[in-house]
Amino acid sequence: MTAWRRFRGHPPGLIGLGIVLVFVALAVFAPVLSPYDPNAQDLGSAIQGPSAEHWLGTDQLGRDIATRLMYGGRISLLIGVLAVSIGLAVGVPLGILAGYYGGWADLAISRLADMMFAFTSILLALTLVAVLGVSLQNVIIAVGISVIPVIIRLVRSSVLSIREEPYVEAARMLGAGDLRIITRHVFRNALTPVLVHGTLSIGVSILLAAGLGFLGLGVQSPTAEWGTMLGEGRQFIFSAPHLTTFPGVAIFLAILAFNLLGDGLRDALDPRMRSVDRPAG
């Protein structure tokens, strides 16, 4: 409750949470909010501007853009959440092993992370998609793998400091095994930066997936996805700018929302802030 009270006192974080909830609601209730099929073509209504019938206009195949944005939000948000989940599932255990045990484990895992850092995130994702093939599943895997090295570095640095804390030494002197120390003390205290960075990484993952879609290596048409919509509309950027403007705004708002939400969580969960809230005495 203390963390939630601090989060409520962070207006940008609340704005970010609000935008995320709006995107989630639009994605979940898209069939109720829109009467159109996101993939149904109507060439007679192609490339129309915003109107009462089509709030955000139609694309080059006469498909309703607002509908495709709502359904595309399902794919983009799904990619962001699942990709970060993959990164956390792999990166957190490796980071803990490297930071807690050190030695050869730290050396091997750190060198693996360094090798992955040799590629920029988009280049690594492009390479993996080129190897694995173009599909939604492979896009999620590729984006998730690109998140792993950052998670490893973050968790390792946190664990290196946590393992030297007095409470860890006390637990070790009382006979607690490594597994108990890691699960009860190290992991729980390293969780805050992981949660914050995971939230921020969702926005980065959405951007990476959109970049792949824009280049034609992401989710393939006719499936609605923001990056793919952006790529399809670029040839009409001067004659029908709404085809690229609205998907671009959706991507921008999603990334902004998760960044604001991550900043709010960081301030709410920062252990140094907890000490301020404790009454003196």
Q: Is the separation of the CB atoms in 200 and 193 below 8 Å?
A: no
Res 192: pLDDT: 85
The pLDDT score that the predictor gives to residue 102 is 86
Looking at the predicted structure, is the pLDDT value of residue 133 above 90? no
Q: For residues 30 and 69, what is the distance between their CA atoms, to the nearest angstrom?
A: 9
Which tens digits make up the pLDDT trace of 201-225? Answer: 999 999 999 999 999 888 888 899 9
Name the pLDDT band for 132 (thresholds 50, 70, 90).
confident
| Selection from 76, 109, 108 nearest residue 95 by Cα | 109
The pLDDT value given to residue 121? 85
- Alpha-carbon torsion (3, 7, 10, 12), positive or negative: positive
Confidence of residue 281 (pLDDT cuts 50, 70, 90): very low
- pLDDT band for position 268 (cuts 50, 70, 90): confident
Over 70: is that where the pLDDT of 129 sits?
Answer: yes
| Segment 68-87 mean pLDDT | 95
- pLDDT over 90 (residue 151): yes
> Bridge partners of 58?
64
What CATH number is given for 10-24+62-277 in this structure? 1.10.3720.10
Extract long-range pairs of 190-194: CB within 8 Å, 24+ residues apart: 190/96, 190/155, 190/158, 190/159, 190/162, 192/269, 192/270, 192/271, 193/154, 193/155, 193/158, 194/88, 194/92, 194/151, 194/154, 194/155, 194/158
d(CA 151, CA 175): 30
Q: What is the reported pLDDT for 1?
A: 61
Give yes or no for residue 177 having a pLDDT over 90. no
Integer Cα distance of 243 and 256 in angstroms? 21
* CA 102 to chain CA mean position, Å: 29
